[in-house]
Amino acid sequence: MGSAESPRKGTRRQRTRRQFLTGTAVLGGSLAVGGPVAAAGAGPRGVAVLGGGVSGLSAAHELAERGYRVTVYEYHDALGGKARSMDVPGSAAGGRRALPGEHGFRFFPGFYRNLPDTLRRIPYGANPGGVHDNLRDATQALLAFDAPRPGLLLPFRTLTTRPLDLGDLAPDALRRTLAGALDEVLHLPADELAYFADRLLVHLTSCDIRREEQWERVPWWEFIRAGRMSHDYRRLLGVGLTRDLVATRAEQASTRTVARTVVEAFLLDGLLGRGVDGQPDRVLNGPTSEAWIDPWAAHLASLGVEFRTGTEVREVLYGGGRVTGVLVAPAGGGPTRTVRADYYLSALPVEHARATWGPGLRAADPQLAHCDAIGTDWMTGIQFYLRRPVRLAHGHAVALDSPWSLTAVGQAQFWDRDFAAAYGDGTVRDCLSVCVSEWDRPGILYGRTAKECTREEVAREVWAQCRRAFERPGAGWPADADVRGWFLDPAVTGLGGPAPANREQLLVHPAGTLHHRPSAATAVGNFFLAGDYVRTDVDLATMEGANESARRAVNALLDADGSGAERCRVHLLFRPPELEPLKLVDEARYRLGLPNTFDLG
């Protein structure tokens, strides 16, 4: 099984240093390196956006549309953060593009509403709906068990198009609907299905204060009583809804987060089709950068946004009650410089953002110090390039029994092009993209965790676990010889050694951590926060959360600037109005110290 790895570090260092020096030399006005802050009335206000991922680009988009001068500082050589595509080095031939690699596959649940609004505002060819028109519906989901047990191939689309009436969401009707749907899909014991439906009913009718003060502090595993149930119940409704989907452990994950976003928004609202943007599961029709990020960057550049890639943010400088500048350096190493602006918007991932906040800034706003308690974990993908197409499902496939919690998707089936004619050397016809959510459990080939394996061993182990889950008679699982190569994000380093590292980690949601998450506005008047760790309505490590947080940060900046510009619209998760009376009853019960009406233990 061949590999396709990252370019030589020396080459990257020379390139990013040149980009850094070129970029800083042309900055002017309030964004000049070491220059003064622009005086009021001297022209458009300047904003330094720290980070060029989804949250940073979303903020730049909203600010540029409102007339601000924006410069985005991004560590990588390309924009998009964890969402971007990466060329597989040395894979292009015969005039074709390089094979597309990625940190992990992108998918766009129907409950997303903020991000789809942004996608519609990014021009793309003749698409009337811009980049949004590049979304394609995934119509199936495969829940695969290890052989010989057959998997479950599910139709994964909105189940009804008619508006639901009050009777549909009356407690007894809702309980029957939930239990019936779960029975149809999962075939679990009737008593376990009934219990799980009752637990969902408890959360659906819980008021906001109970969710934030009680269920936020209860792990999902405990809330659904997984420890008392069958193996399948634990695997499907415990681990399957947490580790496989959002890379957080059921034993630790907040019930509020799992139930509100993964179950209520993704499954319930998505499958019932209420208050959603589209089908429950959607993917792009090409590599992410081609179908979304590159057109986005081009559009932002047309609005006047400037980009400084290959630039590492070292420290946010603070003094006199304000941020006075940002210390940056070439990502590959080199001398530091200071950039200054009127306003600063930090859109770095939390593990990188908090490293840039010095003691003075932290003392100015205690919520910044609380971010030290926010956790991250590994959820990184690997791509296998195949000489023949793989057809597991018209959508995502979950390997439920895989020790490394694998989820996969065959990508060529959704891409509006001939894969072999467009990418690589002409022999690759498909890309199987696999997300690895569990890096700390032993695998089946080597008996070691993913972190303890070398990169080559990780590739072999993931392939073996996929084969054990997905290879069935008639399924057309590729032979080992059909694997032309593989790609693992170069952000993962040191595998198999004493200090494995992953620069691109994922926010996780242990019980109680909601209260450590900061607001987009800070106590420092010219400093704002965006990123999926910022407190948002969606409350999940998602591109939707990144986009929503950027909108909140821009609104806070507009308030601080006294701007008359229209505020960004922040779309909240759908709340079934029929359940609001039951939530009001629950709020009264909560304040009296009573359990939820339907909480029978």
485 inside domain = yes
C-alpha span between 6 and 249 (Å, rounded): 30
CA dist 146 to 398, 483, 535, Å? 11, 21, 38
- Domain assignment present for 192: yes
Q: Is 55 exposed, middle or buried (0-12, 13-18, 19+ CB in 10 A)?
A: buried
Strand bridging mode 140-144 / 395-399:
parallel
Could you tell me which residues are beta bridge partners of residue 70?
A: 47
Angle at 113 between CA 163 and CA 253, to 5 degrees: 100
Question: In the numeric block, which tokens belong to residue 75?
Answer: 């560590």
Q: What is the DSSP string of 197-262?
A: HHHHHHHHT--HHHHHHTGGGSBHHHHTTGGGS-HHHIIIIIIHHHHHHHS--TTTBBHHHIIIII
Q: What's the pLDDT at 499?
A: 97
The CA–CA distances, whole Å, from 384 to 88, 302, 418, 452 equal 11, 36, 17, 21
The amino acid that residue 447 corresponds to is G
CA distance 532 to 539: 8
> Tens of pLDDT along 380-426?
999 999 999 998 999 999 999 999 999 999 999 999 999 999 999 99
Same domain, 410 and 485: yes
Residue 112 Cα distances to 75, 116, 275, 315, 580, angstroms: 27, 7, 10, 33, 22
Q: Is residue 1 part of a domain?
A: no
Question: Do 384 and 478 share a domain, yes or no?
Answer: yes
Q: Are residues 59 and 116 in the same domain?
A: no
How far is 182 from 189, CA to CA, in rounded Å? 10
In a domain, 295, yes or no: no
Q: What is the pLDDT of residue 30?
A: 36
Q: Is residue 565 part of a domain?
A: no
Burial of 496 (0-12, 13-18, 19+ CB in 10 A): middle
DSSP annotation string for 278-335: S-S-EEESS-HIIIIIHHHHHHHHHTT-EEE-SEEEEEEEEETTEEEEEEEEETTS--
Number of CB atoms found within 10 A of residue 360's CB = 15
The answer on 359 and 261 residing in a single domain is no
Based on the fold, state whether residues 389 and 417 are members of the same structural domain.
Answer: yes
Check whether residue 458 and residue 350 sit in a common domain. no
- Alpha-carbon distance of 184 to 181, in angstroms, equals 5
Is there a single domain that holds both residue 396 and residue 486? yes
Evaluate the CA torsion angle 537, 539, 540, 542 in order and state its sign.
positive
Query: Helices H, strands E: what count in the chain?
Result: 20, 23
**Six-digit token string for 131:** 């980049």
Does 386 lie in the same domain as 476?
yes
Residues 497 and 520 in one domain: no
In what order do the strands lie in the sheet containing 380-386? 152-155, 140-144, 395-399, 406-410, 430-436, 380-386, 483-488
What's the pLDDT score for residue 114?
Answer: 97
10-residue mean pLDDT profile of the chain (601 residues): values are: 42 35 34 36 85 98 98 98 97 97 94 96 98 96 84 73 48 65 68 89 94 95 93 86 72 89 74 78 97 98 98 98 98 95 98 97 97 94 96 92 95 96 98 96 97 98 96 85 97 97 93 93 98 93 96 98 98 88 97 95 71
Distances (CA, A) of 78 to 308, 346, 379, 492, 532: 10, 18, 21, 17, 20
Q: Does 145 fall in a domain? A: no
Is residue 321, in this structure, part of any structural domain at all?
yes
What's this model's pTM, rounded to 2 decimal places?
0.90
Q: From the CB of residue 266, how many other CB atoms can be counted at a distance below 10 Å?
A: 23
Distance CA 100, CA 196 (A): 41
Domain that holds residue 325: 9-77+309-373+516-560
Residue 304 lies in a domain: no
Radius of gyration of the CA atoms of the chain, in A: 24
Question: Of 502, 525, 545, which one is at a domain's C-terminal end?
Answer: 502
The enclosing domain of 350 has a CATH number of 3.50.50.60
Q: Please count the structural domains in the chain.
A: 3
Q: Are the C-beta atoms of residues 347 and 48 closer than 8 Å to each other? A: no
* CA pair distance 593, 375, nearest whole angstrom: 31
The owner of tokens 């609001």 is 580
Residues 106, 72 share a domain: no
- Does 194 share its domain with 250? yes
Q: Are residues 353 and 454 in the same domain?
A: no
